[in-house]
């Protein structure tokens, strides 16, 4: 049985373990579990975020995070570089030994508002005030294929609607076919594209049934 609820402080240590298991190459993983725990504590305490957790027969199974306050970040063809995408490139290029320097570099670049232009953005006029960003979705490896991600993501879309969100965007690696199918089955469409990832977008005023023709066969 899958249950979806809000995060509580007692979840943080287990959520950090799921994060490290799911994202082994990301900056927070390479710096260490304490940094992962600090990230979840920040998300839990920050009203600009929402985080849902899933339990499966009472066992913590996964999480889904949304950044609800992006008024200054989105709604134009200029999109901010994802910290995780940038860190993945730097880690691959320079290796584990440079992890601390990489973290400082990424933080500095983000602070300077480093930008990427996506020339194939479908709709540069998306309303800023009604746009949110799907940050992270992860499920424990030993509990996958039990529709936990589907339950989490449906609940996250409901949370977004309850907070007055019109558009929800998310970054998905092109190699992650399972997550692509999950998003498409819930009504997401491709908004922009990088070398190895897509930016997907939901119009939350459109009911899922109205987008089913986009996802037939998935």
Q: What is the pLDDT of residues 82-125, one digit of tens each?
A: 445 555 555 555 554 555 565 555 555 544 443 333 333 445 45
Kindly report the backbone phi and psi dihedral angles of residue 54, in degrees, each rounded to the nearest multiple of 5, phi listed first: -115, 140
Q: Among the listed ranges 54-58, 82-86, 112-116, 189-193, which one has the minimum average pLDDT value?
A: 112-116
Q: Give pLDDT, residue 74.
A: 38
Confidence (pLDDT) at 208: 58
The reported pTM is 0.71
Q: Tell me phi and psi for residue 47, to 5 degrees.
A: -65, -10
Instruction: Find tokens 């290796």 and name the residue.
Output: 95
Residues 84, 135: Cα–Cα separation, whole Å: 10
Please tell me which residue, 81 or 134, carries the higher pLDDT value.
134
More confident of the two residues 127 and 196? 196
* pLDDT value, residue 39: 87
More reliable by pLDDT, 55 or 104: 55
How many domains are there within the chain? Answer: 1
pLDDT score at 103? 57
Of residues 213 and 205, the one with the higher pLDDT is 205
Report CA-CA distances (Å) from 40 to 44, 48, 65, 143: 6, 13, 10, 21
Assign 141 a pLDDT band (cuts: 50, 70, 90): very high
**What is residue 206's predicted lDDT score, i.e. its pLDDT?**
75
Rounded CA-CA distance 37/34 in Å is: 5
**What's the CATH code of the domain at 116?**
3.40.630.30
pLDDT (average), residues 148-152: 96
DSSP assignment, residue 82? P
Q: What integer pLDDT is reported at residue 78 of this predicted model? A: 32
Q: What is the pLDDT of residue 36?
A: 86
Mean pLDDT of the chain: 76
SS3 content of the chain, % helix, strand, coil (to 5): 45, 25, 30
Considering 19-33, 80-94, 130-144, 199-213, the range whose residues carry the highest mean pLDDT is 130-144
Domain of residue 84 covers 2-214
Q: Tell whether the model's pLDDT for residue 209 goes beyond 70.
A: no
- pLDDT at residue 80 tops 50: no
């Amino acid at each position: 049985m899958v249950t979806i609820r809000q995060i509580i402080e007692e979840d943080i240590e287990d959520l950090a373990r799921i994060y490290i298991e799911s994202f082994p190459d990301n900056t927070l993983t390479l710096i260490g579990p304490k940094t992962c725990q600090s990230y979840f504590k920040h998300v839990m305490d920050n009203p600009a975020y929402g985080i849902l957790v899933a339990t499966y027969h009472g066992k913590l199974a996964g999480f889904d995070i949304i950044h609800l306050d992006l008024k200054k970040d989105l709604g134009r063809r200029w999109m901010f570089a994802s910290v995780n995408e940038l860190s993945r490139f730097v880690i691959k290029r320079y290796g584990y030994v440079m992890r601390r320097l990489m973290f400082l570099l990424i933080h500095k670049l983000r602070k300077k508002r480093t930008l990427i232009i996506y020339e194939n953005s479908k709709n540069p006029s998306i309303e800023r005030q009604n746009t949110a960003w799907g940050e992270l979705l992860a499920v424990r490896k030993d509990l996958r294929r039990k529709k936990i991600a589907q339950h989490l993501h449906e609940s996250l879309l409901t949370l977004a609607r309850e907070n007055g969100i019109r558009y929800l965007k998310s970054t998905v690696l092109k190699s992650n076919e399972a997550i692509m199918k999950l998003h498409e089955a819930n009504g997401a469409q491709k908004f922009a594209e990088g070398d190895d990832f897509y930016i997907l977008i939901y119009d939350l005023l459109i009911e899922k049934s109205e987008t089913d023709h986009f996802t037939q066969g998935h």
